[in-house]
Structure 1
């Protein structure tokens, strides 16, 4: 083959450190837009970035020249620096070290997009921890409870 082609949909989830201030509602849209720019600048394609004040959901296409670990590290490092510049409220802002990167089929992209766009309503009924456990169970990911939610 003379051409390298790739179409891998990812649903990425990551959370703030427990000692970090939450992202204020007034800043969420700007933070999500900035994360989208980081993804696009990383030779990946943003479909949607959403979430609530304590965690982020990303739906994107992984570029063929970048690894998942590189992408997530770039998103978290650059967005953390930028968020700290928004206001003194965020001077101690930080993301947790871990993340979930889940592959999704093209057939469920619309369902995943709707899910991410509905985060505010979803989290009126379900905690982040319960949501995250549900994803880990759905994807049959083995994890140690004592480490999954620590900084």
Structure 2
């Protein structure tokens, strides 16, 4: 018998100190690069979005993926891309990330949520929204690590 799986994650990571460093002028190229990085890691980028201070990704994974490695490699590649292509040396990511496992029926809603990030964050900051997502998932956290 073959191995069958359906593993999806909603992954969120923020710029260092939540600085608004991701610019509208290059955000689409940036998201495409993130998608290419995930494909290179043999993951499936289902939806990538975000606003100036963070990235949201809906990712399909294999059973052999280690989520921490996937996020570390993606963040590292993205940083190098910004430094090389955009020539913005201060760009860096905040340490850590948020990751939520998803059931297959939750994926379309999360994809829609990611697609409409700009609208969400006109009403609520990304930090407040992250706190809500963490609370909804029952994840305890120390607020000092969110800033």
TM-score of the pair, normalised by structure 1 = 0.92
Of 121, 125, 128 in structure 2, the residue corresponding to residue 127 of structure 1 is: 125
The answer to whether structure 1 residue 31 and structure 2 residue 30 are counterparts is: yes
Structure 1 residue ranges (4+ consecutive) displaced by more than 3 angstroms after TM superposition: none
Q: Which residue of 1 aligns with 2:4?
A: 5
> 1:105-134 CA deviation, whole Å, 9 max, x = no partner?
111211111100000111111001101000
User: Distance between the aligned counterparts of 1:120 and 1:148, measured in 2?
Assistant: 20
Q: Which runs of 5+ in 2 are unaligned?
A: none
Let me know the Cα RMSD of the aligned residues. 1.3
2:40 equivalent to 1:41: yes
> Contact 1:20/1:94 (CA < 8 Å) preserved in 2?
no
| Matched residues, number | 147
Q: Deviations over 1:64-90 (max 9, x none)?
A: 2210001000100011001111233x1
Which stretches in structure 1 are left out of the alignment for 5+ residues?
A: none
In the alignment, what sits opposite 1:61? Answer: 60
The answer as to 2:71 corresponding to 1:80 is: no
